[in-house]
Amino acid sequence: MASMSGKRGNGEGSIYPYKNGFAAYAWVTTPDGKKKRKYVYGKTREDVHDKWIKLHAEAKNGPVATRHRTVSAFLAYWLESIVKPNLAPLSYVSYEGCVRLYIAPHLGTKRLDKLTVRDVREWLTKLTITCQCCAQGKDAKRAPSRRRCCAAGECCEAYASRRVIQAARDALRAALTHAVTEEEIGKNVAALVKVPKPRRRRIKPWSAVEAGQFLADGVIREDPLLAAWVLVLCLGLRRGEVLGLTWKSIDFEAGELYVDHQIQRAGRQILHRETKTEDSDDFLPLPALCLKALRMRRAQQTGDRKAAGDLWQDSHGLVFTTKYGTPIEPGNLTRMFALRARRAGLRVIPLRNTRHTCSSLLVALGVHPKVAQRILRHSQIAMTMEVYAEASEEEVRSALGKLSEAMGGTG
């Protein structure tokens, strides 16, 4: 309604015919502090008027974005401003790979606020039937003489696995969760789409007999990584935790080990960083076998340092290093473990599966139940006693007899 002065009220002349309907605008303050016009559209004047009223209410509440970002633009901002400064380097590498290889090529050009549940579902379906060798040009990147599949006209059908598809969906869901938090979108469409869970391969862990055979073989061959295998099998340490151990974290007098660092490969970097959570940090009692193996390792490293001379590089005082003192690649430790298992005549199991062997091995070594309780992180001693009751002591003790003798009666 016009005022007494004859002038129109604010916005009364803002609605106007546009294409097959109507349009309107209001002046808003953008997130970067500038004043800009923001437009709304609709089929009828009433529709536009309602949208225009809402727009004015938004403008009063705070900054309003005048241009909506594409999915690619938002993901780039999310990776650099949210993930990189706040999450672990390995999380950034994982998310960045998912965005670059699987999300951006399919959904990147879509407007963030227009992304639908159907778009996400169709994208995931497309991932399952798209050869990633073709999509990423893996074969095409090889020298012409070495091209053997997709670039040579014979598609290798390297489809994304269930695990890859789940990781890609999870990365998009994490990004959209942040978009909802920042009020760029109203709901997380990726969270509404379910993906089939990857099936876990169940692998039977080594028995104490097999673990004993593996360690005895390492003693006979004077394996420089023997102490690493002992800590993995007797204390249930993870790969990164073993490689991240420093001599400062071992108290030979008290017979304790402090776990608070790990070695990780993140993209092109090897990082020596803190363990994931404070709950992972712990003082672990060292059984006699572990202490003996660590003393042997200390002597081996001293020999390596003398042999390397000026080429020796001291890396944070790490316990396990290459012959030149540099950190061991986590992937290399996994490969070395498989190689040693074959050499000992044992079936190969993943390095991470050795944690399941830890309890029966502690029984075999005659470790006191209270000490074993701390190593196994059992809250109740009754849980530890169940493990001790289940193990066939005669069988496992005889299996480790050779190992004890080889290491000078330790165990």
Mean pLDDT score of the chain: 81
For residue 244, count CB atoms less than 10 angstroms from its CB and return exposed for 0-12, middle for 13-18, buried for 19 or more. Answer: buried
Q: What is the pLDDT of residues 330-339, one digit of tens each?
A: 889 999 999 9
Tens-digit pLDDT profile for residues 353-401: 777 777 777 777 677 777 777 676 666 777 666 666 555 555 555 555 5
Task: Say how many C-beta atoms besides its own lie within 10 A of residue 71's C-beta.
Answer: 24
Q: 145 near 155, Cβ under 8 Å?
A: no
| CA trace torsion 293, 294, 299, 300 (10° rounding) | 70
Which helix (H) or strand (E) segment holds residue 164: the answer is: helix 162-181
- Using alpha carbons, list the distances in angstroms from residue 326 to 118, 155, 272, 280, 329: 50, 41, 12, 25, 9
Q: Which position has the higher pLDDT, 188 or 281? A: 188
Provide the token pair at 171.
């990365």
Tell me the pLDDT tens digit for each residue of 181-220.
Answer: 887 788 899 999 988 887 777 778 888 788 888 988 888 8
Q: Which domains does the chain have, with CATH numbers?
A: 16-61 (no CATH), 91-192 (1.10.150), 208-406 (1.10.443.10)
**Confidence band of 168 (pLDDT split at 50, 70, 90):** very high
- For residue 263, what pLDDT is reported? 64
Residue 279 vs residues 100, 274, 276, 377: alpha-carbon distances, Å: 33, 12, 8, 11
At 119-145, the pLDDT tens digits run 999 999 999 999 988 888 888 888 888
Continuous segment of H or E residues that includes residue 259? strand 256-259
Instruction: In the chain, count H helices and then E strands.
Output: 18, 8
Per-residue pLDDT, averaged over 8-14, amounts to: 51
Residue 170 has pLDDT above 90, yes or no: yes
